[in-house]
Structure 1
Amino acid sequence: MSYDLLPASRRDAMTRAGLWRDETLLDHFRRHVEAHPDKTAVVATRAESGAEARFTYAELDRLSDQVAVGFLRRGVGDGDVVSFQLPNWWQFPVLHLACLKVGAVSNPLMVIFRERELTFMLGLAESKILIVPARFRNVDHRAIAAGIRADLPRLAHVFVADGEGEEDFANLIAADITDAEAAVLGGRRLSPDAVIQLLYTSGTTGEPKGVSHTSNTMLANLVPFAERLHLGPADVIHMPSPMAHQLGFMYGLVLPAMLGATAVLQDIFVAETMAQQITREGATFTMGATPFLNDLADHCLRTGTPTPTLRIFVSAGAPIPRPLVVKAREALGAAIISAWGMSENGAVTTTRVEDPQDKVTSTDGCPLPGMDVRVVDLHGKVVPAGEEGMLQVRGCSNFVGYLKRPGLAQVDQDGWFDTGDIARMDADGYIRIAGRSKDIIIRGGENIPVVEVENILFKHPAIAAVAVVGYPDPRLGERACAFVMPRAGMSITFEEMVAYLKAQKMAVQYIPERLEVVAALPQTPSGKIQKFRLREMAKAATGA
């Protein structure tokens, strides 16, 4: 399959500049297996059962070989999509490594997705295999998968972690590997330009877009990221963010395997548990949205719990309030790093460990090597420092296209990608996100597809018009509020709205947390809803 953002000219420019090194994660991983086979690669705990799994680099290599052979025996090969809707369990890194070994595409899916989202995503990807947990957080994922399977003719196999019978994930792990199968695994090398990851992201159309990355685009981000933050094989990387997010996937799964470091995975975020894991495992680095930082700092201050080994906490997904940085530094004794990025390109900007506090609290960082950023006006002209405009990026870690949506990415002939964000840049080249031109609410680092929520609510028989906007929240960054104009003689309550959206099999995290019933929605003379006024109304109602 061709991708519209991977022309030969881009490849030539990236390789000439030394930004694409034509390596894959497997190249790095195998060097670490050979150099220190007995070093701990992954520690994964499960909050609900208390189970813990630990794997050395040699064990992780062997286990991923066995799953790779399980894939081969089921006809999975180059370009086939393997979808896994899993928490941060040990199966996650094993599955990605196995996919790399057979040339398949890893398609991580958030555990919050339900029938509506899954049917669309698996159908568009033509997924060949789906792996789900039997149950997680009181949700029967096995039953959900069984219920949608009839609508997915390309889905050949479903495997269930903690499952039973033929669908048990254990059956995907080959008990033995023949010489011929070992030769297949050992005799192939993944192309660094092959698509290795398909990750869905929300968009203004309400239809998720399948972001596609290669080894070159992904590693071109992680190498300079690690260099800027002085990360190496001695680090222990703690990951509380879901690995089905780009943040969790790139920096909790790929980064430690690339470095030869140890990954510590947390499947359900609880600040107390995170603090315990950091202390017990000697974690030196972690990364997450602002609520993770706030809650961990609060816990450590309240209990007097130290995290002496933690050197760096990277906070991304929302601006970090200045008081939080002060509090977190006092509580954790770590450098607090602000960052900005997208599924389409990973972390594009970060502050530096050496930066003064005002850069951390007033900016989202400066570009990583290999990435360019600019702020332009409506005519594409670069605006002066300090002025707001549209944020555009280009460079080595930009993705290679949206699955089956050629031309959908807003990229001009010079390679500038329109992020949809509004930003300003200071005289030092540091950016600050000021807002979003795309209609997205970011709740605790999770993008809420506003148009999709609105479209579903609009189908409710009591609703004549609806608009969903975000309003500030000190912990999550934003929450969602639905403004509804009811039909004549009809009404709707908050409880009825929630029940309706749940009946539509929508992810619970997408459901608005407030409902405001209004006689009319504010509009422009042309009839366009003035969402900025609704945001002001929602903000005022909270006293924010």
Structure 2
Amino acid sequence: MLMHCPTWPEEFAARYRANGLWQGQTLGEMLAERAVQQGDRIAVVSGESRYSYLELDQQANRLASSFLEIGLKPEDRVVVQLPNRYEFFTVIFALFRIGAIPVFALPLHRQSEIQYLCEWSEAVAYVIPDQEAGFDYRVLAEQVQSQVPTLQHIFVAGEPAAFHSLQRLSEHQSPSHIAWPPIKSNDVAFLQLSGGSTGLPKLIPRTHDDYIYSFRRSNEICGLTESSVYLAALPVAHNFPLSSPGVLGTLYAGGKIVLASSPSPDIAFPLIEKEHVTITALVPPLALIWMEAAASRANDLSSLQVLQVGGAKFSEEAARRVEPVLGCKLQQVYGMAEGLVNYTRLDDPEATIVTTQGRPMSDWDEIRIVDEEDNDVPVGEVGELLTRGPYTIRGYYRAEAHNAKAFTVDGFYRTGDLVKMNSEGYIVVDGRAKDQINRGGDKIAAEEVENHLLSHASVFDAALVSMPDSFLGERSCAFIIVRGQMTVSAAELKDYLRARGLAPYKIPDRIQFVDTFPQTNVGKVSKKALREVFATTVTNGTL
């Protein structure tokens, strides 16, 4: 087991195994089993290419063999930053086969995030595309490698320049019988990124056992079978499209994955028609775009049975429009990369589907909703959601001090989400207790952006707050106190943040200069009051 990864107490693990939740299979074994069962059936459609289960399994084997020859070994961390393309699957399953641990980065991450991930995970390798959306990841890799001593290998999907070519490694003729390193199902399979509120992301250790249970149970609720066709419109490294039930759930079911290079209706709608897509997942702003676009498009979307919407709260008004406009069932999904996933059920009454964010998917999920003193609140009242269960982690990687705050002594994870539960056990999300902004499903830790702003010579103090937005749910507004008599413009600060390698979605949507910050009774910056300042100035037309 990877060091510095808290895990389930043995009494819980034994219970989960005895009751068939954890079945002792690794992700690599799961793919090998499906390759035998599904053979030449199509597993992944990527651009104009189509790949069978057998091809995916064989190419993952060849790539795994090459990784071993290069020197990768079990528990080596490998930062994987790939868009929605076929190589994502060959890479992660190759790493699963040899026990190396993918660290999932997002395509929009830049030097600030990638350098941190490589340093904190002590990564030995980094996997990238050559170019995507006009951005050259090879230049980013050079910059990061020059700063991270542990980073020995760069693997490139596409033109490799001075680095390793994934294509050539995947064509390597491996021995017919390879002795893969021994991998246990309770080993850490990969590290995901938290959407936390304190600085840069924390790393979430997911095991083969808990993650396979998560998407196997998701399949049961979402009705995935080998006839299912899943459109991956969101970046597949996100937990939502990866496992709820997502691309891994689709592979488990023996279905077909269709990769979209963008969630734009211009790209997604023709794919739905051509590939007879049955299920896909979106965040609320994209769902709104799809519903607006549907009226002016001639594409046949009749194969689409289920549209999942998650990542942020979906308004009731928009939720009611999904079935009449798109002709498919809406399924609300509320979950977190740390574990717990809630779904509305496909046979739920419309009122439940449009007004709640679902109920826990497993009978083994344990839920508490508590007040500020950790007392359980009555049904229907708002409190902070706490949870533990067979696929909810017991602690972050290398985060002992934070774990003491983020988890109760008896192992409940403090989600930081303010929710209420109705009498049927369905959850309604009310907001956040943590200092985090949910910008259309992209989570922004206020502290991280504030720290970058504070490094500017002209900034005396900075506070990032959320502001309501009818499209994204929330946008960000940075309130700035300038140092002394110095001057700086909003445009200059945004350029400064970009130059520091901050991901585009983290750049503040608005920057407002103020003389002082309102404070709480204990002398802390009152972000509630700052949000009220924003609301007042918008109403008065001064912002």
TM-score bin, normalised by smaller chain: over 0.9
Confirm or deny that 1:256 pairs with 2:253. no
Confirm or deny that 1:184 pairs with 2:184. no
Bigger CA drift: 56-65 or 291-300? 291-300
- Report the equivalent of 2:226: 233
Q: Separation in 1 of the partners of 2:300 and 2:469?
A: 27
Deviation at 1:418, TM superposition (A): 0.8
Q: Separation in 2 of the partners of 1:172 and 1:153?
A: 24
Q: Separation in 2 of the partners of 1:195 and 1:141?
A: 27
Q: Is the 8 A contact 1:212 1:400 kept in 2?
A: no
| Residue identity matched to 2:531 | R
Q: Is the 8 A contact 2:66 2:172 kept in 1?
A: no
Confirm or deny that 1:146 pairs with 2:139. no
* Aligned pairs (5 A) from 1:475-486: 475-486=471-482
| Residue identity matched to 2:453 | L
- Report the equivalent of 2:18: 16
- Report the equivalent of 1:421: 417
Q: Separation in 2 of the partners of 1:271 and 1:535?
A: 34
| Residue identity matched to 1:183 | I
Q: Separation in 2 of the partners of 1:393 and 1:480?
A: 28
Q: Separation in 2 of the partners of 1:353 and 1:276?
A: 25
Describe the shift of the 1:166–1:483 C-alpha distance in structure 2 as closer, same or farther (beyond 3 A).
closer
* Aligned pairs (5 A) from 1:389-408: 389-406=383-400, 408=402
Confirm or deny that 1:172 pairs with 2:199. no
- Report the equivalent of 1:49: none
SS of 1:106 mapped into structure 2: strand
Q: Is the 8 A contact 1:328 1:336 kept in 2?
A: yes
Q: Separation in 2 of the partners of 1:150 and 1:490?
A: 34
SS of 2:457 mapped into structure 1: coil
Describe the shift of the 1:68–1:498 C-alpha distance in structure 2 as closer, same or farther (beyond 3 A).
same
**Cα deviations by residue, 1:329-373 (Å, 9 ceiling, x for unpaired):** 11211111111111111x521111111222222211111112122
Q: 2:9 aligns with which of 3, 7, 10?
A: 7
Q: 1:195 aligns with which of 170, 175, 188?
A: 188
Q: 1:342 aligns with which of 327, 336, 340?
A: 336
Confirm or deny that 1:312 pairs with 2:306. yes
| Residue identity matched to 1:85 | Q
Q: Is the 8 A contact 2:26 2:183 kept in 1?
A: yes
Q: 2:40 aligns with which of 34, 38, 41?
A: 38
Q: Separation in 2 of the partners of 1:407 and 1:33?
A: 43
Q: Is the 8 A contact 2:206 2:393 kept in 1?
A: yes
Q: Is the 8 A contact 2:394 2:413 kept in 1?
A: no
Q: Separation in 2 of the partners of 1:29 and 1:134?
A: 27
Q: 2:518 aligns with which of 480, 501, 522?
A: 522
Q: How many residues align?
A: 533
Confirm or deny that 1:385 pairs with 2:379. yes
SS of 1:117 mapped into structure 2: helix
SS of 1:424 mapped into structure 2: strand
**Cα deviations by residue, 1:445-478 (Å, 9 ceiling, x for unpaired):** 1111210111111222222221111112222221
Confirm or deny that 1:358 pairs with 2:360. no
- Report the equivalent of 1:66: 62
- Report the equivalent of 1:374: 368
TM norm structure 1? 0.94
Structure 1: segments with no counterpart, 5+ residues: 46-51
**Cα deviations by residue, 1:203-253 (Å, 9 ceiling, x for unpaired):** 332032110100111112112211112111110011111122112322433
Q: Is the 8 A contact 1:87 1:267 kept in 2?
A: yes
**Cα deviations by residue, 1:392-444 (Å, 9 ceiling, x for unpaired):** 11111112532222353322243211111111111111111111111111112
Q: Separation in 2 of the partners of 1:166 and 1:253?
A: 32
SS of 1:191 mapped into structure 2: coil
SS of 2:44 mapped into structure 1: strand
Percent identity over paired residues: 28
- Report the equivalent of 1:121: 117
Describe the shift of the 1:92–1:541 C-alpha distance in structure 2 as closer, same or farther (beyond 3 A).
farther
Q: Is the 8 A contact 1:69 1:174 kept in 2?
A: no
Deviation at 1:189, TM superposition (A): 5.3
Q: Is the 8 A contact 2:320 2:354 kept in 1?
A: no
RMSD over aligned Cα, in angstroms? Answer: 1.8
Describe the shift of the 1:165–1:115 C-alpha distance in structure 2 as closer, same or farther (beyond 3 A).
closer
SS of 1:408 mapped into structure 2: helix
Q: Separation in 2 of the partners of 1:177 and 1:525?
A: 67
SS of 1:152 mapped into structure 2: coil
Deviation at 1:174, TM superposition (A): 4.4
